[in-house]
Chain A
Amino acid sequence: MLDFSQGIRKLHEALRSGTTTPEELLNQSIEQIEQKDGEIKAFLRVNDVTARDRLKGNAAASNSFSPKHLLDGIPYALKDNMCYEGIETTCASKILEGYIPPYTATVAQKLDDAGAILIGKANMDEFAMGSSTENSSYFPTKNPWQQDHVPGGSSGGSVAAVAAGMVPFALGSDTGGSIRQPAAFCGVVGLKPTYGRVSRYGLVAFASSLDQIGPITNSVEDAAIVLQAIAGADVHDATSAHVEVPDFTAKLTGDIRGLQVGVAPEFFADAMDEGVRQRVQEAVQVLKELGAEIKPISLPHISYAIAAYYLLAPAEASSNLARFDGVRYGYRSQNAQNLLAMYSKTRSEGFGKEVKRRILIGTYALSSGYYDAYYKRAQKMRTLIRQDFEQAFSQVDVIVSPTTPAPAFLLGEKTKDPVTMYMTDMCTIPINLAGLPAISVPCGLSQGMPVGLQIIGKMFDEQTILQVADAYEKTVDFAAVRTAHSKEAK
Chain B
Amino acid sequence: MYETVIGLEVHVELGTKTKIFCGCETEFGAPPNTHVCPVCMGSPGVLPVLNEQALRLGMKAAMALHCEVRKDSKFDRKNYFYPDSPKAYQISQYDEPIGEHGYIDIEVGGQVRRIGITRVHLEEDAGKLSHSVFGDASYVDFNRVGIPLIEIVSEPDIQTAEEARLYLEELKAIMQYCAVSECKMEEGSLRCDANISLRPIGQKELGTKTEIKNMNSFRHVERGLLFEQERQEAMLHRNEMIVQETRRFDESTMSTISMRSKEDAHDYRYFAEPDLPRIVVSDRFLAECLAEIPELPAQKRARFVQDYGLPDYDASVLTATRPLAEFFDETAKRVKDPKVASNWIMGDVLGYLKTTDATIETFAISSMRLAELIGLIENGTISTKIAKSVFKDMLETGKDAKILIEEQGLVQISDESALRAIAQKVIENNPKSVQDVVAGKDKAIGSLVGQMMKETKGKANPQVVNQILKELITG
Contact = CB atoms under 8 A, between A and B. Distances in A.
Contact of B271 (A201, A203, A315, A327): A315
B50 interface: yes
Interface in A348-401: 363, 366-368, 371, 375
Contact of A328 (B86, B89, B271): B86
A396 B50 CA distance: 37
Given A238-B49, A367-B267, A327 B275 contact: no
A81 B83 CA distance: 24
B47 A367 contact: no
A435 to B, nearest CB: 12
Interface of A: 81-83, 89, 91, 96, 99, 101-103, 105, 200-205, 207-209, 235-239, 315-316, 318-319, 322-325, 327-329, 339, 343, 363, 366-368, 371, 375
B271 A102 contact: no
A322 B88 contact: yes
Contact of A99 (B44, B49, B276): B44
A316 B140 CA distance: 26
Smallest CB-CB A-B distances: 3 pairs: A322-B88, A208-B274, A366-B269
B276 A339 contact: no
Contacts of A328: 41-42, 86
Nearest to B49: A238
A319 B38 contact: no
Given A101-B45, A315-B271, A363-B269, A322 B276 contact: no
B87 interface: yes
B313 interface: no
B46 interface: yes
A368 B267 contact: yes
Contact of A323 (B86, B269, B276): B86
Nearest to A327: B83
A91 B43 CA distance: 13
A32 to B, nearest CB: 28
Contacts of A325: 81, 88
B45 A205 contact: yes
Contacts of A239: 47, 274-277
A319 B275 contact: no
A339 B47 CA distance: 27
| Secondary structure of the A contact surface, majority rule | loop
Identify the interface centre among B42, B44, B46, B81: most chain A CB within 10 Å of its CB: B44
Nearest to B22: A236
A319 B89 contact: yes
A240 B47 CA distance: 11
A200 B46 CA distance: 8
Given A200-B47, A202-B45, A238 B276 contact: yes
Contacts of B49: 235-238
A322 B44 CA distance: 11
B384 interface: no
Given A238-B275, A238-B277, A315-B271, A322 B81 contact: yes
B79 A102 contact: no
Interface in B219-276: 267, 269-271, 274-276
B156 interface: no
Nearest to A96: B44
Contact of B275 (A208, A318, A363): A208
B300 interface: no
Contacts of A339: 83
Contacts of B269: 318-319, 363, 366-368, 371
Nearest to B79: A319
B42 A323 contact: yes
A89 B43 contact: no
A102 B41 CA distance: 11
A319 B81 contact: no
A201 B46 contact: yes
Contact of A319 (B45, B47, B77, B276): B77
A238 B47 contact: yes
Contact of B44 (A208, A323, A366): A323
B462 interface: no
A83 B47 contact: no
26 contacts: A101-B43, A101-B44, A102-B43, A204-B44, A204-B45, A205-B44, A205-B45, A208-B275, A235-B49, A236-B47, A237-B47, A237-B49, A238-B47, A238-B49, A238-B50, A238-B277, A316-B274, A318-B79, A319-B269, A322-B81, A323-B88, A328-B86, A363-B269, A366-B269, A367-B269, A368-B269
B323 interface: no
B49 to A, nearest CB: 5
Contacts of B275: 205, 208, 238-239
A316 B273 CA distance: 9
B79 A322 contact: yes
B271 A83 contact: no
Contacts of B274: 207-209, 239, 316
B48 interface: yes
Interface in B33-84: 38, 41-50, 77, 79, 81, 83
B144 to A, nearest CB: 16
Interface in B406-437: none
Given A101-B43, A323-B88, A325-B88, 6 more contacts: A205-B44, A235-B49, A238-B50, A323-B42, A328-B86, A368-B267
